[in-house]
Structure 1
Amino acid sequence: MPTARDPLADLRRIAFLLERAHEKTYRVRAFRGAAAALAKLPEGEIATRAAAGKLTELAGVGDVTARCVVESLNGEEPVYLRRLESTAGQDLDAETAALRAALRGDCHAHSDWSDGGSPIDEMALAAAELGHEYLVLTDHSPRLTVARGLSAERLAEQLDVVTEINAGFEGLGMSFRILTGIEVDILADGSLDQTDELLARLDVVVGSVHSNLKDESAVMTERMVTALANPHLDILGHCTGRLITGGRGTRDESQFDPADVFAAAVEHDKAIEINSRPERLDPPKRLLRVALEMGCRFSIDTDAHAPGQLDWLPNGCARAVACGVPADRIVNTMPAAGLLAWTAAHD
């Protein structure tokens, strides 16, 4: 008789692949929810319920997830998983694959503390499984209430939680670590939406514009240049704010003077993010080439809101390769110590 597979691992793998494919949230929740419900059962009860046909009596377990569990217990790769795996391959050219392999971590990711869908530890474990050395946790700042932005009090609490999780990784002998961070709103006057005291405690600060995206070019330019001069900011996130596809619809690029903005980034040694989210792919290639010609550094990030989305880095790598961005201009090709030395030099 075939050896049983781990049904919880199979359910989580299905959820991961659905997230990577940017499938509907309800599909992901069905598999992550089933895995969470089954994880609470005493040892042996999953198999007992499966044999009796009683898996679906559990809240959170439906017909599809139950069928996957039964197939796993029978030693078979679930059909649902096999179909996803067969279509999940990312065929990368040699240059893109090499750049992806050079990335040590991801500097922009969210958890369920703001508008992400998974706990911090799940995001971190997924990053470690992808081979990352570090993941920068960058939940939103307080002004972005629609994304449950973190108040100063909640951010301080999160820092303690990250310390505890990292201690657990160290206890397991893992070299992986979570770096503390934030995606802080760049406010209308160019200031940053969090206290200087807390920003100074963070390892990496990503600053993004989320409001008044239709400001006139001169206004937006001044706003971004002011933010880049702030010693606490390290990376300028999704600089045009555009949306090119996806459930939120499309959105035109914000208008600003790229020469002035990218010159400020070079002057203060800040990085321009190459955002890998399929609906953003920001900046556009024409602006990416301008930033490269002006001497900017870059950070290739996923802006992930779920574990599977952490595997979107090849999207950004492909754009960097297409525009001729060399690996030594990308800050997250550095190991954690090098990245932290770079960000510390800004303060």
Structure 2
Amino acid sequence: MSDDPVAVLERIAYLLERGRESTYRVRAYRGAADAIRQAGEERVKELAAAGRLKDLAGVGDKTEQIVLEVLAGKTPSYLIQLEGSLEEAENGPGAAVRAALKGDCHTHSDWSDGGSPIKTMAEAAIALGHEYMVLTDHSPRLTVAKGLSPERLRLQLGIVEQLNEELAPFRILTGIEVDILDDGALDQEEELLAQLDVVVASVHSKLRMDSEGMTKRMVAALASPHVDILGHCTGRLVVGRGRPESTFDAELVFACAEKFDKAVEVNSRPERLDPPRRLLRLAVDMGCKISIDTDAHAPGQLEWLPYGCERVAEVGVDLDRIVNTRSADDLLAWAASHAA
């Protein structure tokens, strides 16, 4: 256990993200970490001894207790509780699949609707032992998610290039989660899509379109030489009030994915777990490649991969059909083949 209260507070914030806790709670712990860091070790100890830690703006009752426990040489019980929250999934039937994954092909940063800078997301991926992550912020029409205009995406490409020099040998692969529009067109300039390493295409609008229209929409996207992965194909949500699956001819869509050598995403977000098992089995039976992704919008969410791995293990998928078991170079070669 760290004897640094800043490190412990930041670890708790990370674990809260992993557990899908509210942004408010995450910020409370990060804010307390910043306050303790800025105050300095000696002042923190003085305030703690005087019972005045809450004099620091950003430190409240719960975060004060965490700091006091750390300064007393104890491991906070709250930290112990949070650390165990993924243990079952990590050691479950998907453990062998998880161990084979070399990266994550669907991640977001604060350039769109993620909560953390690109570098922070990359550093979290490095800490998990990943060799790469594909940065897939949203496309322009998803304004609620601050989708990237062509101009902003070009700026992001420059930032990624700089970060790759700094973080090597880890690699941030350029990408996008591009919206599949009503007619199957893609929501970004073709010239830009052609420059990206990996493109995830997803439906985010008119999710209750009739089956025939949705099928045509997905098939058109999969036929595009720019698309590599079909993201969260049913659009369902399985928590809270939930959201029903979009309807489409799954056999036709998966046949198209197999024909064009595209991957069907297994989205590991606990509220999505998309596609449902029956469709995942169908995709596997039809010979589709699979990409197991987190769709992470925060560093802690990068640890959601075991949820997807467990479902893939249940269905039974050969590791060589999971695209993110490949090295970065092999993944790039596979993606580049779609434009050949």
Task: Please identify, of 313-322 and 18-27, the stretch whose mean Cα deviation from structure 2 is larger.
Answer: 18-27
**Kept in 2: contact 1:4–1:73 (CA 8 A):** no
Paired AA for residue 104 in structure 1: K
Map of 1:314 onto structure 2: 306
Q: CA deviation at 1:44?
A: 4.2
- Map 1:89-238; keep pairs closer than 5 Å: 89-92=87-90, 95-170=93-168, 175-238=169-232
Q: CA deviation at 1:36?
A: 3.0
Map of 1:243 onto structure 2: 237
Identify if the C-alpha distance between structure 1 residues 240 and 86 changes in structure 2 by more than 3 Å, giving closer, same or farther.
Answer: closer
Q: CA deviation at 1:92?
A: 4.8
Q: CA deviation at 1:211?
A: 0.4
Q: Distance in 2 between the 1:266 and 1:88 partners?
A: 33
**Kept in 2: contact 1:4–1:74 (CA 8 A):** no
Map of 2:246 onto structure 1: 254
**Other structure's SS at 1:90 match:** helix
Gaps of 5+ in 2: none
Identify if the C-alpha distance between structure 1 residues 45 and 197 changes in structure 2 by more than 3 Å, giving closer, same or farther.
Answer: farther
Q: Distance in 2 between the 1:102 and 1:123 partners?
A: 20
Q: CA deviation at 1:95?
A: 4.3
1:145-186 Cα deviation digits (max 9, x unpaired): 11111111111111122222222213xxxx322111111100
Paired AA for residue 188 in structure 1: D
TM-score for both structures, normalised by structure 1: 0.92
Identify if the C-alpha distance between structure 1 residues 36 and 202 changes in structure 2 by more than 3 Å, giving closer, same or farther.
Answer: farther
Task: Please identify, of 28-37 and 190-199, the stretch whose mean Cα deviation from structure 2 is larger.
Answer: 28-37
Map of 1:292 onto structure 2: 284
Q: Distance in 2 between the 1:201 and 1:87 partners?
A: 39
Select the residue among 256, 261, 267 that pairs with 1:264. 256
Q: Distance in 2 between the 1:21 and 1:55 partners?
A: 27
Number of matched pairs? 339
Gaps of 5+ in 1: none
Q: Distance in 1 between the 2:140 and 2:52 partners?
A: 45
**Other structure's SS at 1:187 match:** coil
Q: CA deviation at 1:93?
A: 5.6
Identity rate, percent? 63
Paired AA for residue 151 in structure 1: S
Select the residue among 41, 48, 51 that pairs with 1:50. 48
Identify if the C-alpha distance between structure 1 residues 191 and 16 changes in structure 2 by more than 3 Å, giving closer, same or farther.
Answer: same
**Kept in 1: contact 2:89–2:307 (CA 8 A):** no
**Other structure's SS at 1:89 match:** helix
TM-score for both structures, normalised by structure 2: 0.94
**Other structure's SS at 1:272 match:** strand
Q: Distance in 1 between the 2:330 and 2:15 partners?
A: 32
**Kept in 1: contact 2:231–2:267 (CA 8 A):** yes
Supply the RMSD in Å over aligned alpha carbons: 1.8
- Map 1:32-111; keep pairs closer than 5 Å: 32-42=30-40, 44-92=42-90, 95-111=93-109
Identify if the C-alpha distance between structure 1 residues 4 and 45 changes in structure 2 by more than 3 Å, giving closer, same or farther.
Answer: farther
Q: Distance in 1 between the 2:150 and 2:88 partners?
A: 40
**Kept in 2: contact 1:126–1:307 (CA 8 A):** yes
